[in-house]
Amino acid sequence: MKSLFYQYVLGFISTCACGLYSPLQAQWLLDLETGAVVGSRYNEVRVPGNGGTQFDIARDFDTKPAFFYRIRAGYTFGKRHTVSALFAPLRVKSTGSSSQNIDFNGARFAPDQPLNIRYQFNSYRLTYRYDLISRERFTLGLGLTAKIRDAAIELDNGQTRSEKTNLGFVPLVNFYLNWQMTDRLHFLLEGDALAAPQGRAEDIFAGLGYRLGEQWTIKAGYRLLEGGADNDEVYNFTWFDYASVGLVWRW
C-alpha cells in the first residue's frame, strides 16, 4: 500500500513539474470551502469488527451541527489537465447514553451513563483530472485521487475512555462537471468516489457558482460524505450532510 502511494505521489510531482513548463492555458486555483455538518443519517460502529457491540452514533446519541472547512490548491495546464491537493478535516461530537453495555475497542461502557463520543475523519488527497470535454460552457472530467484517511472514534464516560484510530491509503475515482448556465452563473457537480468489497467512499458536492469577476467566484450547495469499511478490525458506515459555501480564486 505504501509503495503504491509513493508511486502515485512521484507521478503527481512529475505531472506538476511538466505543467510548470506548459504555459498553454495554465492557471492556478485556490478553493476555500466552509459551512456546517447539518446532520448524519447513520453512523454505525462496531469495534472490533468481529466482536464489539454495534451501535449507531447518529440514531442513539445527540449529534450537534459541526463547523467544517476544506482547502484545495490546484493547477491547470494544457487546458485539459488539472492536478490538485486537498486538506479536508472533520470532527463531530455526540453526547447521550445507551440502554445497553457497549463493548468498544477492548473497553466496556455501562448503560445509562452519560457518554461523550468524538468522531474524526480527516482527509488528505492528491488528484489528477483530465477533462474529456472542454467547451466554453460545458466541462466534463475524470481522474484519480490518492487519499490518506486519518480517522478516530473515541468514547468517554468520565470513568472509562477508549479511542480507536485508523490511518490508511484509499484510491478513489475523481469526477467533475461544470455547466456554464449564463456568463456569471454555473452549475457544479464534483467529487471522489469508489466502492469495493472491503468498503466504499463517496464525497460529492452539488451546487451553484457565481462569478464575481475575472478571478473570483463564490459557490454554495450541498455536500455528502458517505461510506465505510467492514473488516475484523473495525466496522463503520456513516453518512454526513453538509451545507456548504465557498470562495474560489483563479489566477
Dump pLDDT digits (tens) for 177-202: 999 999 999 999 999 999 988 899 99
Nearest of 173, 188, 238 to residue 33 by alpha carbon = 188
Nearest of 4, 53, 30 to residue 234 by alpha carbon = 53
CATH code reported for the domain at 2-250: 2.40.128.90
Average pLDDT over residues 227-234: 95
Q: Is 145 exposed, middle or buried (0-12, 13-18, 19+ CB in 10 A)?
A: buried
Q: Give one DSSP letter per residue of 88-134, joined into a string.
A: E--EEEEEE--SS-EEETTEEE-TTS-EEEEEEEEEEEEEEEEEEEE
- Helix, strand or coil, per DSSP, at residue 3: helix
- Work out whether the CA dihedral 75, 220, 121, 46 comes out positive or negative: negative
2 pLDDT more than 60: no
The pLDDT value recorded for residue 16 is 46
- On the CB side of 106, how many CA atoms lie within 13 Å of its CA? 5
More confident residue, 137 or 64: 137
Q: What is the share, in percent, of the chain residues with pLDDT greater than 70?
A: 90
The domain spans of the chain are 2-250
